[in-house]
Amino acid sequence: MKRQPRVAAIHDISCFGKCSLTVALPILSAAGIETAVIPTAVLSTHTGGFTGYTYRDLTEDVLPIFRHWRDIGLKFDAGYSGFLGSPEQLEIVSEIFAEMKKQGALIVVDPVMADNGKLYPTFDAGFPAGMRKLCEGADVIVPNLTEAALMLGEEYRDGPYTRGYIEEMMYRLAELPAKLAVLTGVFFDEEQLGAAVIDARTKKIDYAFSKRVQGSYHGTGDVFASALVAGLVLGKAPQAALQRAADFTADAARRTLEAGTDIRFGVNFEEGLRDFACE
Ligand code: PXL
Q: 279 pLDDT exceeds 80?
A: no
Nearest CA owner, ligand 1 atom 10: 48
231 C-beta closer than 6 A to ligand 1: no
For 49-105, the pLDDT digits (tens) are 999 999 999 999 999 999 999 999 999 999 999 999 999 999 999 999 999 999 999
Q: Could you tell me the distance, in angstroms and rounded to a whole number, from the CA of residue 204 to the centre of ligand 1?
A: 31
pTM score: 0.98
Element (H, E) at 39: strand 34-45
Average pLDDT of 141-147?
98
The 3-state DSSP class for residue 219 equals coil
Q: Could you tell me the distance, in angstroms and rounded to a whole number, from the CA of residue 45 to the centre of ligand 1?
A: 9
Q: What is the mean pLDDT of the chain?
A: 97
Nearest CA owner, ligand 1 atom 12: 46
Ligand 1 pocket test, candidate residues 14, 55, 146, most atoms within 8 A of CB: 14
Buried b (16+ CB within 10 A) or exposed e, 48-66: bebeebeeebbeeebbebb
For 93-129, the pLDDT digits (tens) are 999 999 999 999 999 999 999 999 999 999 999 999 9
Average pLDDT of 158-168?
97
Burial class of residue 153 in the structure, from the number of CB atoms within 10 Å of its CB (0-12 exposed, 13-18 middle, 19+ buried): exposed
How many separate helices (H) and strands (E) can be counted in the chain?
Answer: 9, 11
The 3-state DSSP class for residue 92 equals helix
* Complete domains list, the chain, with CATH: 6-269 (3.40.1190.20)
Q: 196 pLDDT exceeds 90?
A: yes
185 C-beta closer than 6 A to ligand 1: no
pLDDT at 278: 84
- Quote the CA–CA distance of 61 and 72 in Å, as a whole number: 17
Q: Could you tell me the distance, in angstroms and rounded to a whole number, from the CA of residue 254 to the centre of ligand 1?
A: 21
Q: Are 267 and 253 in contact (CB under 8 A)?
A: yes
Q: How many residues are listed for the chain in this entry? A: 279
251 C-beta closer than 6 A to ligand 1: no
